[in-house]
């Protein structure tokens, strides 16, 4: 382990594969958050899932006996809406390929949702994706609309399987339009920078806690954070052993992390 846990004052925590797998809570979630609060460790729950609004994460954790505030959750949809003014300062009209979370974030940010003549096409995971949606988005991108992706996850974990993620949809649009998207979510550092800014704690005292090397760990490293990997999601021991990118420490699950942190004092 290349990390002294006692130096940490904040965490950027992933959801799928760390707190939940599909709809099922993973071991030790409630006890882990009780530990963080007792130690006054700040946290932001940062998820690449753009399909559902932040309130959905809040409600899921509440049902697990883990109350968190909506301000402690940052979705890739929210990060996308927050970052759009920097990418396209004059944009007003947005075509969205995505779920309720992305639609809500874009409209709350003051953009008009359109099907044509868009300034920006924003795409994320869309569980009701149709060929017509892909066709319309491709047309707008080819016409010159900025192409932005909420995140590039090719898959996301279910209870016993991996399902196609937002990255799969972005790949289809990129292939059809010959334009690569600007991606906002992990492993880009934008979400991590926004989370650290929210908490007001320096990056050297903050760690990313996730289950994926290619999103959680890589993104945290890009943002100058320490890194903690749990083996309850996508990364397997074989993947970890073969990877050039290594986290500062690895734990079987949240219980193992909490117990080690407790012993550290």
Q: What tens digit of pLDDT does each residue of 130-148 get? A: 999 999 999 999 999 999 9
Residue 50 · residue 101 · CB < 8 Å:
yes
Considering the chain, tell me which residue range(s) the CATH 3.40.50.1000 domain(s) occupy: 5-48+186-264, 81-183
With bands split at pLDDT 50, 70 and 90, how would you rate the model's confidence at 255? very high
Residue (of 257, 213, 208) closest to 237 by Cα position? 213
220/155: higher pLDDT: 220
Model confidence pLDDT, tens digit, residues 172-231 = 999 999 999 999 999 999 999 999 999 999 999 999 999 999 889 999 999 999 999 999
With bands split at pLDDT 50, 70 and 90, how would you rate the model's confidence at 51? confident
Helices 76-87 and 100-108, packing angle to 10 deg? 40
pLDDT of residue 184: 95
Across all residues in the chain, what is the average pLDDT? 94
With bands split at pLDDT 50, 70 and 90, how would you rate the model's confidence at 154? confident
* Distance in angstroms (rounded) separating the CA atoms of residues 10 and 47: 16
Question: pTM of the full predicted structure?
Answer: 0.87
Instruction: Count Cβ neighbours within 10 Å for each residue of 230-264 and write b for 16 or more, e otherwise.
Output: bbbbbbeeeebeeeeeebbbbbebbbbbbeebeee
User: Once rounded to an integer, what is the mean pLDDT over residues 47-61?
Assistant: 89
Q: Which residue has the tokens 């909420």?
A: 150
Residues taking part in catalysis:
14, 16
User: Once rounded to an integer, what is the mean pLDDT over residues 42-47?
Assistant: 96
pLDDT of residue 44: 97
Q: Which residue has the tokens 């797998």?
A: 21
Residues of the chain with pLDDT > 90: what percent? Answer: 83
- What CA–CA distances, in Å, run from 128 to 115, 131, 133, 155, 177? 16, 10, 9, 16, 21
* Domain covering 5-48+186-264 assigned CATH 3.40.190.10 in the classification: no
Beta pairing class for 162-164 and 20-21: unpaired
pLDDT of residue 196: 95
Sign of the CA dihedral 93, 99, 100, 101? negative
Residue 15 · residue 49 · CB < 8 Å:
yes
Q: Which of 76-90, 136-150, 160-174 has the lowest mean pLDDT?
A: 160-174
What secondary structure letter does DSSP report for 117? S
pLDDT of residue 21: 83
What secondary structure letter does DSSP report for 175? H
CATH architecture of the domain 81-183 equals 3-Layer(aba) Sandwich (3.40)
Q: Would you call 111 exposed, middle or buried from its count of C-beta atoms within 10 A (0-12, 13-18, 19+)?
A: buried
pLDDT of residue 157: 66
Residue (of 66, 36, 83) closest to 192 by Cα position? 83
Maximum mean pLDDT: which of 16-20, 41-45, 154-158: 41-45
Q: Give the 3-state secondary structure percentages of the chain, helix then strand then coil, rounded to 5.
A: 40, 20, 35
User: Once rounded to an integer, what is the mean pLDDT over residues 104-120?
Assistant: 96
Spatial strand order of the sheet with 10-13 comes to 73-75, 42-47, 10-13, 206-210, 226-230, 249-251
């Amino acid at each position: 382990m290349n990390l002294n846990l006692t130096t940490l004052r904040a965490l950027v925590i992933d959801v799928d594969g760390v707190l939940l797998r599909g709809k099922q809570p993973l071991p030790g979630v409630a006890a882990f958050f009780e530990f963080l609060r007792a130690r006054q460790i700040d946290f932001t729950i940062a998820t690449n899932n753009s399909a559902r609004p932040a309130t959905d994460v809040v409600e899921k954790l509440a049902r697990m006996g883990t109350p968190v505030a909506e301000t402690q959750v940052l979705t890739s949809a929210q990060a996308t809406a927050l970052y759009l003014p920097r990418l396209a300062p004059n944009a007003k009209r947005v075509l969205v390929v995505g779920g309720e979370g992305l639609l809500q974030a874009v409209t709350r940010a003051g953009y008009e949702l359109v099907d044509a003549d868009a300034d920006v096409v924003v795409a994320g995971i869309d569980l009701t994706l149709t060929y017509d949606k892909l066709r319309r988005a491709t047309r707008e991108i080819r016409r010159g609309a900025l192409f932005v992706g909420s995140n590039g996850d090719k898959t996301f974990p279910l209870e016993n399987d991996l399902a196609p993620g937002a990255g799969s949809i972005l790949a289809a649009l990129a292939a059809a339009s010959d334009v690569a998207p600007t991606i906002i979510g992990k492993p880009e550092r934008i979400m991590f920078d926004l989370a650290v800014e929210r908490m007001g704690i320096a990056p050297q005292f903050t760690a990313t806690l996730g289950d994926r090397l290619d999103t959680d760990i890589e993104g945290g490293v890009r943002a100058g954070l320490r890194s903690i990997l749990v083996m309850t999601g996508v990364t397997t021991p074989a993947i970890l052993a073969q990877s050039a990118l290594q986290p500062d420490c690895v734990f079987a699950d949240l219980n193992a992390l909490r117990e080690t942190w407790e012993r550290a004092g």
